[in-house]
Chains A and B, each alone.
Chain A
Amino acid sequence: MRLLMICRLLFFAFLGLVLAQPVVAQSTNAVTPSDPALPGCDAQARLAQIQLPSDVEVGFVQTHKNPMLRAAVQQRGVLVRESGGDLLMRIETPRWEERRLSATAVALTRKVNNRRGGGTHTATRSMRLDPGQPQHLALLAMYAAVDGDEQMLHEHFLLSCAEIPAGWQITLQARATAPAASIPRLQLLGVGQHLSGYRSETFDATGTLQQFLYVDILVESLDH
């Protein structure tokens, strides 16, 4: 009986490890900003260097999770900072989708089945995000980081930079007055002069992670 209980515990622990794998894999670089042990760095200097070159495709992996999902979901695609100012995220797997991000809105273009005659057509849905609201801040941080818009980031966030083993991280604390609990914790990760990742994490009142979105930029594809 005791052996059975130990086996069960081990099984659940194993299962937990397996399920948590994508999350752990993507969050190894995440270090809490309040960690005083980390050496500081110059956020301004970092941000001044990280703008993605325009019209160049860069691979990325997105991982997200919310309470409705049993496990984190991963998507892969390419990221393009368009010369017109938009940030285009083209998801290639598991389903084709295009997200066009501006500082205040995201437009999703998807393939939609025709009602008649088979085949598909693309349809675009625009979602506007209210300035100062949590979703807007999350979107704005990513857009401004890829765009290298240091001024926009300063305008909306307090920035703190720290050196981490894998490179550096900038933590963004919203200046907005929205309820603190609903504002995601936002981080930008980088290696040298490149932006390598974006983290958005939302916690509940007890401090438990509720939702997250991680975007890891495949910096090596940029070097090539």
Chain B
Amino acid sequence: MNPLTTESMRPRLRLLTLLLLIGAIAWLGLSRLQISYDLGAFLPAAQNPTEALLLERLGQGPGAQTLFVKLTVSDPAAAAQMAERLRAVTGVQRVLPEPQRLGIAAIPETIWQHRLLLQDLPADSSAWQVELSQRMDELAFGANQDMLDLVAADPALMAVNTLADAAGDLHMPRFDQGATQVLIVQTSVSAYDPGRLAQVVAELRAQLPSESQLLGAPAYAVDLQDTVRDESTLFSILASLALLGLIIWRFRTWYPVIGVGVPLLAGGVTGILVLTLFYAEVHGITLAFGFTLLGIVIDYPLHLFTHMRMSQTPLKQTVWPVLRVGIVSTLIAYGAFLFSGSQGLEQLGVLACSGILAAALAAAWITQGDAGLRYSSVLPQVATSAGEAAVSLRMLPATLLFLVSGLILWLVPVFNDDLGSLTPVDPDLLAEDARLRHSLGTVDMRHVVAIRDAQLEAVLQKTERLVDKLDELDVDLLGGWQAITQTLPSAARQQARLERLTDPASRKQFEVAIQAAGLQQDAFTTFENAWQQQLEAPGLLTLEDLEQSSELAAPTSLLLLKDDAGWVSVTLLRGLASPGQLRSVLPPGAQLHDLKATAEDLVKRYRQDLSVVLGVALVLLALLLGVALSVRRMLWLLISGGACVCGAAAVSAILQGGLSLFDLMALTLVAGLGLDYLLFYSSPQADAADGAVANAVGLCAASSFLVFGILGISSIPVLRGIGTTVAVGVVLAFLLARFGRQAKAGR
């Protein structure tokens, strides 16, 4: 039987009108849509200097921008050729090892001009003699004219040492061991910019032979993006097919099949349009999670169509009163994200709330004048419970589940604030990465020393005092460090060096050393001329000089930050054996920051803030239900809803070893879905609906379980977590709703 005959022309017209409207909204929204990938949008505002430092440094710095290339070649020349090719890739800043450019031309002009102010002169003539003799030793293996010129102009290698300090002076891996060569690639792309990062990694991979290996955080981030995209696509297709099959099986006609999808589509495009009206850029993650949250709107047409099929009672009497409460409840729950404290989640709230409203309107629009769609039921009736047990008994399972899951959540560690545990990167790969970093002596990504002051000169002077302290430490305690004062000494220190250059005794010490080291008297004329020039034009090196240098601007910005409160110098550490011991010797004003602990604290605070906001939403929800429903029904809804949220949280925490921030979003969805089922099952009209409620809720639960159950088999911990949490929550909500349907009472 075809229900859409002459009588059904009106619904078809309605659907067509709506699709046209959706098309217009989609065109408008998508034409304005600018997608951003700045992960910083999902981080909360910093509340203390350490958090500010963490947020400033996350996604940049040597750790987050360094890649390691393992080449399966034994010939160093082949590795050098490959390094040259990788240097041509856009976004690549350096590829180590670099060609030896021991010549004046390879040194930035700024450093070369101020080299006499960047390092101390050797202390006396004997120190100069040692220094000069060492230069001669270094030249022993054959020096070209460039090297001879360099030594003649800078015998203490002040410029070269300054650059080596500024570059971090990595211990390069051996090139001649076995069949593996390692290259270090430093990119200029922030980890906050996954689009560009993906481009750089793709270009690097295109240059590399297939058997080579690319390690490092940027590569993992890009691989993760790809895996997420691939799995999301696969699961979306699987979920859509499953949902389609379910709806076709239940309705056996095309109108509901299209009708179920249209409100979701309307919600999605409207949400995007609203976002573009309020924000210049919409985050990619907002869209991904936003559509997950919007999944709830599929329930609206499912309820409506099922009731239209199975019940003769008008929708405005059976479905809409309950659906309205459900929609407002969901809006309250999702609206909590508007007050989350991060722009990303705020956008998520805007998308979800506006999308739900639009979807509800769309569902109402396509089911209005439902007479055209109504016909005698072809659906099997789901048996409704005939039990008339006391309300208290019906509430027992929900109460028990609430108590048991509450106990579990109290006993086991509920939250896992270690974001690292969410990474799907192969542990063997991470171990290899750690081994390489250790052997290369790369900077510690976890600990940094920060010094703050309102004045730049004060920060530099304090940093010099810090570096003097670090100098005294045993190499076993601290392998090395990078500080801004290695390239930008304080004005006071530069002035002191200038005064030493002015002292005739200094010049005499140098001349004595030349003689004692057995060197030609005129071997260092270039250096002596530079010395004289420095005295005649004693300009000090400034921050502006470094910022204007294409080679030095990036390392400078990494080690010296400016914020509203003033200046912060960040000293990077290498080979730190004992943070506690280091902390005890730091000079006043210098603070050792553990960025991992700070990140965990940040996530913890973020989660607590979000929990408070969701708690407030819950109270508002209770108030709404209290106003809209009877006290008994409200109690049953709250206990059952709480039970399914707590139950899902407990099961998920046990299965995953703790809940992440993302699971909080999933639990919000569980609350929305659970409330939806519970509201319908407990509605006074449920009995009058001739089993339509059971059919509709069963269909909604089955569709949600299918979609999120499929997501639960993902290899990405975040997606798997969301899938598992929602799927478990849906099952619990459905069972509790079914079991407690006789608890309905009141309005």
Q: Chain A: residues with CB nearer than 8 A to chain B? A: 62, 64, 66-71, 73, 75, 85, 94-95, 97, 102-106, 108, 110, 113-117, 121, 126-135, 138-139, 182, 184, 200, 202, 211, 213
Contacts and interface: CB of A to CB of B under 8 A. Distances in A.
A130 B142 contact: no
A213 B141 contact: yes
B234 interface: no
B142 A202 contact: yes
A68 B519 contact: yes
28 contacts: A68-B148, A68-B152, A68-B519, A69-B136, A69-B518, A70-B518, A71-B518, A73-B518, A95-B133, A97-B134, A102-B175, A104-B176, A106-B141, A110-B134, A114-B472, A115-B471, A126-B172, A128-B97, A130-B99, A130-B100, A133-B100, A135-B144, A182-B144, A200-B141, A202-B142, A213-B140, A213-B141, A213-B142
Contacts of B475: 121
Contacts of A133: 100
A182 B144 CA distance: 7
Contacts of B141: 106, 129, 135, 138-139, 200, 213
Given A70-B520, A110-B134, A126-B171, 11 more contacts: A69-B136, A73-B136, A106-B141, A115-B471, A116-B472, A121-B475, A127-B138, A130-B80, A133-B100, A211-B142, A213-B142
Nearest to B137: A97
A127 B171 CA distance: 10
Given A68-B151, A182-B144, A115 B519 contact: no
Given A68-B136, A70-B518, A73-B136, A116 B468 contact: yes
A134 B142 contact: yes
Interface of B: 76-77, 80, 97, 99-100, 123, 127, 130, 133-134, 136-144, 148, 151-152, 171-172, 174-177, 468, 471-472, 475, 518-520, 523
A127 B98 CA distance: 11
Contact of B172 (A105, A114, A182): A105
Given A116-B472, A128-B100, A134 B138 contact: no
Contacts of B174: 102, 104-105
Nearest to A75: B137
A87 to B, nearest CB: 11
A198 B158 CA distance: 32
A53 B80 CA distance: 31
A67 B143 CA distance: 10
A133 B98 CA distance: 13
Which of A64, A68, A121, A211 has most chain B Cβ within 10 Å?
A: A68
Which of A106, A129, A132 has most chain B Cβ within 10 Å?
A: A129
A196 to B, nearest CB: 19
Nearest to B161: A125
Given A67-B520, A71-B518, A113-B123, A131 B142 contact: no
Nearest to B139: A66
Contact of A131 (B80, B138, B471, B523): B80
B468 A115 contact: yes
Nearest to B160: A125
Contacts of B100: 127-130, 133, 135
B175 A104 contact: yes
Contact of A103 (B99, B130, B144, B176): B176
Nearest to A183: B142
Contacts of B76: 103-104, 131
A135 B140 CA distance: 9
Contacts of B144: 134-135, 182
A138 B171 CA distance: 22
B175 A105 contact: yes
Nearest to A215: B140
A131 B175 CA distance: 10
Nearest to B123: A113
Nearest to A108: B138
A68 B137 CA distance: 12
A208 to B, nearest CB: 14
Contacts of A94: 133
B520 A69 contact: yes
Nearest to A133: B100
B606 to A, nearest CB: 43
Contacts of B171: 126
Nearest to B472: A116
Nearest to A122: B475
B550 to A, nearest CB: 23
A174 to B, nearest CB: 12
A25 to B, nearest CB: 17
A116 B471 contact: yes
A68 B520 contact: yes
B717 to A, nearest CB: 40
Contact of A95 (B97, B130, B520): B130
Contacts of A115: 468, 471-472
The 6 A-B pairs with the shortest beta carbon distances in the complex, nearest first, are: A64-B140, A103-B176, A68-B523, A131-B77, A138-B142, A104-B175
Which of A64, A71, A114, A200 has most chain B Cβ within 10 Å?
A: A64
A62 B137 CA distance: 10
A132 B79 CA distance: 13
Contacts of A126: 171-172
A32 B137 CA distance: 26
